[in-house]
Structure 1
Amino acid sequence: MTSTKNSALNGTNLYERMGERTTQPFAVQLLDELEPLTDLSVIDVAAGTGGLAEAASERGASVLAVDLAPAMIERTGERLQKYPRSSARIMNFVALDMADGIYDVAISNFGILAYPTWKSGLDEMVRVVRPGGSIALTMWTNRDDCSPAHLLHRVFRQHFPNRDLWPPGLFPMFSPASLEEGLLEAGCVDVRAQTSEADWSPFSSVDVVDECDPMFRSFPGYAGLDDIERSNLQRTLKAAFDAYADVGGVIHLPTRAYMVVAKKA
């Protein structure tokens, strides 16, 4: 039991340190689209380690952050302790345990859209928001090297065209049109979908592959490589990252995500 808990905590720490560096810039952009947030009630669905929830609380919102993972919610709760009107709870995003229409805003930053059940999650987000309230979502474009993970995916396919890096359907394919359609079907109006960009740089451009290695091991295809396969892949991976380096050798990867904001009818 202790080993399982420690593993969960290590995964949470890794996500906060590495994962949030790719997702948090889009959380900030999404919150900018929703301003002013002062005194609004916000539910952050599939909140992860709480980066968006903390940022929204800093802007004056009262936030409930929900996620299925106990370790994620424990960490989010720690980060929200300094905001008396914000809290975190374990909750399934396809069955939110709360009444209809009680929130001003429902947000999911790279959350529900990462699952095949996203339409059920979207229905729940819309259900718990008041008429006229806002729904906001982000998801990777899945085009080109839109995130460090997608750059790895491209290189992985070059080396192992008959293997999967991650389970099929892990990152469902979207377009602005399909996202708009989904929100309209869920009962939203005034849907605005756009492609947003943010700059991602590793802590050390020289050691970018070693830095990303613990995060990439969460993908089954990468974790299952033997030493020789991983070494060969990493050489190509380093060259792919270096293609985004500036004249000083610092890597700047232009990450891209769809960002969509709508109103509940």
Structure 2
Amino acid sequence: MTKTTGNHFDTTLSAYERWCDPCSGGFSRAALDGAALPAGAAVLDVCAGMGALAVPAAERGYGVWAIDTSSQMIARAAERLRPYPGSAAEVMDALDLHYGDDTFDAAFSVLGVVYFGPGMAKALSEMIRVVRPGGLVGVMNWADPMGAPFFHPVARTINRMDDPEVGTFAAPLTEYLQRPELEQALTDAGCVDARSERVEAAYTVPTAETFMDELDPVFQVLPQYRAAVSKDRDRFREILAEEASLMAAGSLPPALGNIAYARVPSA
């Protein structure tokens, strides 16, 4: 979950849970597989959303704390974590973690702090501070600057509209980091033994007829989407349905992400 102004994610709860969280959950399970944490580890999930990493971590027997600035997302995460004693979720800013030093065995941020721009370094330093020496820090990014696969039909639709006032679609992930850059960010923040790997996750998409309505709350984060829809919503819907039908007609390729891990230096 990226940091956002105006709690955008508070308004996307239903759409996000149906169409985004399963993919984030697949990424998160892959991240946990690669982390190989010890039994009973204490795990912090930063920018946790509705618990895409926190819930599978709790299912594995870890003690999990999930934090996010979206009150609606965190409320859903808390509900999903309720069956797991020793796990909790609360509203908190990743730039100001209210935990003591060396509290956790690992801290993760899946599709979260990597989009903080200049604030990423501060967020990473906070994650490192609360992880014990020798513990693990993991951050994850999309492997494509377009982000989620369902943005591709939106991009093609905007370009087909050919409206100078809207412009050619620009990939939304302006702070996109590739695997070596993710490793370097962790190293620059003070970690050691950085490594990374490519991971993948399955996802589903709405039918062509419902594509726009189902995902509209998510697409609202894109300024060009908002501009294009305000100019000619009916035409946009028609073209997007055509593009979405092409996407849904074939086998969907997996969503691809990059996960980087590093260790907090031992004392």
User: TM > 0.5 between the two?
Assistant: yes
The one-letter amino acid of 1:127's match is: R
The one-letter amino acid of 2:205's match is: P
More displaced 10-residue stretch of structure 1: 101-110 or 213-222: 213-222
2:73 is matched with which residue?
Answer: 72
More displaced 10-residue stretch of structure 1: 96-105 or 217-226: 217-226
- Report whether the alignment pairs 1:95 with 2:96: yes
The one-letter amino acid of 1:55's match is: P
2:85 is matched with which residue?
Answer: 84
- Report whether the alignment pairs 1:221 with 2:224: yes
- Report whether the alignment pairs 1:153 with 2:155: yes
1:28-62, Cα deviation, whole Å (9 max, x unpaired): 11111123453000000011111211110000000
Decide whether aligned partners of structure 1 residues 127 and 154 sit closer, same or farther in structure 2, where only a CA change above 3 A counts: farther
Decide whether aligned partners of structure 1 residues 257 and 90 sit closer, same or farther in structure 2, where only a CA change above 3 A counts: same
Considering only aligned residues, what root-mean-square deviation do their CA atoms show, in Å?
Answer: 2.9
1:264 is matched with which residue?
Answer: 264
SS in 2 for 1:180: helix
Once the two structures are TM-superposed, the CA of residue 105 in structure 1 deviates from its matched residue by: 0.5
Once the two structures are TM-superposed, the CA of residue 86 in structure 1 deviates from its matched residue by: 0.2
1:79-136, Cα deviation, whole Å (9 max, x unpaired): 1111110001211101111111111000011111122111111111111111111111
Decide whether aligned partners of structure 1 residues 128 and 15 sit closer, same or farther in structure 2, where only a CA change above 3 A counts: same
Given that residues 115 and 171 in structure 1 are in contact (C-alpha distance below 8 angstroms), is that contact kept between their aligned partners in structure 2?
no
* Alpha-carbon separation, structure 1, partners of 2:37 and 2:125: 25
TM-score (norm 2): 0.83
The one-letter amino acid of 2:260's match is: V
* Alpha-carbon separation, structure 1, partners of 2:247 and 2:170: 27
Given that residues 195 and 261 in structure 2 are in contact (C-alpha distance below 8 angstroms), is that contact kept between their aligned partners in structure 1?
yes
Given that residues 45 and 108 in structure 1 are in contact (C-alpha distance below 8 angstroms), is that contact kept between their aligned partners in structure 2?
yes
- Report whether the alignment pairs 1:182 with 2:185: yes
Decide whether aligned partners of structure 1 residues 36 and 137 sit closer, same or farther in structure 2, where only a CA change above 3 A counts: same
1:158-217, Cα deviation, whole Å (9 max, x unpaired): 534654799997641211121111111111122112232323222446643443233223
SS in 2 for 1:101: coil
* Alpha-carbon separation, structure 1, partners of 2:167 and 2:45: 31
Identity rate, percent: 30
SS in 1 for 2:151: helix
* Alpha-carbon separation, structure 2, partners of 1:113 and 1:145: 12
2:134 is matched with which residue?
Answer: 132
Given that residues 73 and 89 in structure 1 are in contact (C-alpha distance below 8 angstroms), is that contact kept between their aligned partners in structure 2?
yes
SS in 1 for 2:53: helix
Given that residues 37 and 60 in structure 1 are in contact (C-alpha distance below 8 angstroms), is that contact kept between their aligned partners in structure 2?
no
Given that residues 135 and 264 in structure 2 are in contact (C-alpha distance below 8 angstroms), is that contact kept between their aligned partners in structure 1?
yes
The one-letter amino acid of 1:188's match is: C
Decide whether aligned partners of structure 1 residues 141 and 165 sit closer, same or farther in structure 2, where only a CA change above 3 A counts: farther
2:3 is matched with which residue?
Answer: none
Matched positions, count: 256
2:107 is matched with which residue?
Answer: 106
TM-score (norm 1): 0.83
Given that residues 139 and 258 in structure 1 are in contact (C-alpha distance below 8 angstroms), is that contact kept between their aligned partners in structure 2?
yes
- Report whether the alignment pairs 1:254 with 2:254: yes
The one-letter amino acid of 1:87's match is: A
Runs (5+) with no aligned partner, structure 1: 1-6
1:30 is matched with which residue?
Answer: 31
